[in-house]
Amino acid sequence: MKNTKVLVTAATGKTGSHVVEQLIEKGYPVRAQVRRHSEKSELLESMGAEVVVGDYFDRQFLHTAMRGIKRAYFCYPPADRLLEAITNFAVVAKEVGLEFMVNMSQIIARHGHPSRLTNQHWLGERVLEWAGIGTAHIRPTLFAEMFLMLNAEGIASQGKIFLPYGKGSHAPVAAQDIARVVVGILTNPESHVGKAYTVTGEKALSQNEIARIIGDVLGKPVEYVDIPLEKWRQAMADKGHPTFLIDHLSCVAEDYQVGRFDKVTDVVLKVGGQPAQNFEAFISENIAVLDDRIAEVVS
């Protein structure tokens, strides 16, 4: 029913902003949760979303955010306290009678994962199931956007991508395509209750192939350098990244090296309604973003 207002959490994030936009385009009213007012939240309001400001650790706020809501999208950033956040969300959802939600998890979520964040994702899935809320879990692979965010410095200064990923591969998926899956589920929840979907791009690529594609689009040679994990950890620490995130990404690298990301699905097409964007098209479409990031590094 298109008069059903949907709560979208982390609404200024990579997937959340696309989910808000796509739902509104389909005629659904949206309540968008953000942690603070910003230009991004103002943009959501200009689209027609109702913006509410607060976080997952304030249950009184969550009651307000979920008032009159029957469907929701839950997404948490790559930070600690996920399990507390998702438990708070589940408690309030149960109290207010939320009927269905989509939960953002990870492709590598599994029992006893050495990453605290990934293990919390697995536990969070169990919490939602035990709460008896109709839930679908999405488990995306690595976002295509990460190459715009993390690799600009190496590309700008040396024409290189430094990652400890060995000879593994994955099918990069754009946040916009992940959002299509979320929206496809939220707008037709009955057929998705209790299911978990691995969400990937159209084709698995090695890091060498990814570097070549980026170089072709940029018009300059780009090379992948398989850096030792400990050296990469130190480089991340030197840049001031938090230990929690470094530990998580190190576990991601170890999973990548042994092929845990080497999966390709057609979920974007089957659930999201159109084929996943290929990586070359994504980089071409976002070349201005990459150029800006390179310019920031050079300056």
- Residues in the chain predicted with pLDDT less than 70, given as ranges, are 1-2, 289-299
Nearest to 201 by CA among 176, 218, 225, 226: 176
Please give the Cα distance from 108 to 115 (Å, whole number): 10
pLDDT tens column, 204-248: 999 999 999 999 998 889 999 999 999 999 999 998 999 999 999
Q: What CATH architecture applies to the domain 146-169+202-260+275-298?
A: Alpha-Beta Complex (3.90)
The CATH homologous superfamily for domain 6-141+175-199 is NAD(P)-binding Rossmann-like Domain (3.40.50.720)
Domain spans of the chain? 6-141+175-199, 146-169+202-260+275-298
Per the DSSP assignment, residues forming a β-bridge with 8 are 32, 73
Q: What is the largest CA-CA distance in the chain?
A: 56
The pLDDT, as a whole number, for residue 291 is: 65
The pLDDT tens digits of the residues spanning 185-194 come to: 999 999 999 9
pLDDT digits (tens, 9 = 90+) for 148-175: 777 777 887 788 999 999 999 999 999 9
Positive/negative CA dihedral, 39, 239, 246, 255: positive
pLDDT for 152? 76
**pTM score, two decimals?**
0.94
